[in-house]
Structure 1
């Protein structure tokens, strides 16, 4: 199956965006994909903000993008756009870091007023970075993402929508989705 990089652009250590991504990662792994998580907040701020392209952590992140066949980009929405933290990472990556990749954009936010941030803020930059295919993204309200002792909990409608988006992404990568649909 495909090698997938799952990127959280949230600055929060208790991020609902990251929680949502890890929920999605589990589904992708069950479909047979190899998923590598990357939390941008774990990268050194001085390397990101100073655009230190040769910093070992930036080089390592760039290599993760290069090895991935698919990339999931998750971000909270702030001021009707993706996070500044995510922007700082995208700025230090090579111009065509997403060339030949299938990309799934995800966003979380406090209001449905932010739902268009994926199409009007995030999708254009992903396209400019050479993404071969950007599958339809998904926006989830913060209040719909909670946690229990085993992971994320989503209301049934939100969980079903996220499963469909994940399955479309997997299919675009050439993955199988039917076995989970039958089992779930």
Structure 2
């Protein structure tokens, strides 16, 4: 029988290799940078997210996996770590809205690691703000349990507001400004 530490380590290994198995490889001729595949860094970040989940007293229902909470939490952390709860929740909802939309993969792994979508998947990063990570884990769990209202108006896209109006937003409808991000729908 595995002890608590062994269970967590085994879970992290399954998550990392399960995540990478779910991601379609990018062809060498692709002009878009592929997903960030450094398993050592991803493992370390997932361990930190798992530790944050352990610190939060929350019971996940059977239909919400620890793997999904950790992946969504990392996406929230890297995309909105400086945001308050509403900004973090908005990023979570865009991720989940994409998962429900037929134009994106139907899994969190597929949505998060789709090439060119979330910059943190292409660049190494370190978790340097444990409190922001803990908040990201809490928001991820609540979003996956369906207890957070989607204040983005069903947005499928967002960018940092400081960027102005990037060319890719032409033809999209601006639906919300939440924290430091602007949100769009088709």
TM-score (norm 1): 0.26
- Looking at CA atoms only, which structure, 1 or 2, has the larger radius of gyration? 2
Q: 1 or 2, which has the higher strand percentage?
A: 1
